[in-house]
Amino acid sequence: MHLQDEVKEVRLSQRLATSAACLVGDEHDMTPRMQRMLEQLGQTPTKPKRILEVNPTHPLLDKLQSIYASSQTDPRLEQIAKLLLGQAHLAESGSLPDATSFGQALTEIMLRAT
């Protein structure tokens, strides 16, 4: 898995209808909103790893599965995984923890598509 340093786990979602992925926390994890509030108060809370839930019916997941079946070492797998995580971060908080990495992965995917 290419995201083991960034997420607690990846699992199939039962709640997503149109989105490819989302981030969720465990029951006792601090919410992103609570983390931001503590940071505004000058505290530095430990940020728990989030859970990346993916929509098994989304066409992107079908494409990922097809790429994986052809070659488990295909570099597109890591790039798409990072973009999927970035998309989930944007949907959750409107910001990216690593905008440079997200931009590089996006650029590489666009170059392949053109």
- Residue 28 covered by a domain: yes
> From start to end of the chain, where are the E strands?
7-12, 21-24, 50-54
Query: Residue 18 pLDDT > 90, yes or no?
Result: yes
**Please, what sign has the CA dihedral across residues 47, 2, 54, 90?**
positive
CATH of the domain at 26: 1.20.120.790
Taking the C-alpha atoms of residue 18 and residue 106, their distance in angstroms, rounded to an integer, is: 21
Residue 14 backbone dihedrals phi, psi, to 5 degrees: -100, -5
Residue ranges making up the domain that contains 58? 7-113
> What pTM, to 2 d.p., does this model score?
0.82
When pLDDT is cut at 50, 70 and 90, the band that residue 1 belongs to is low
Task: Tell me the pLDDT tens digit for each residue of 40-96.
Answer: 888 887 778 899 999 999 999 999 999 999 999 998 898 899 999 999 999 988 889
Q: Please give the mean pLDDT across all residues of the chain.
A: 89
- Residue 1 covered by a domain: no
- Residue 2 covered by a domain: no
DSSP H/E element including 23: strand 21-24
- Residue 13 covered by a domain: yes
Tally of domains within the chain: 1
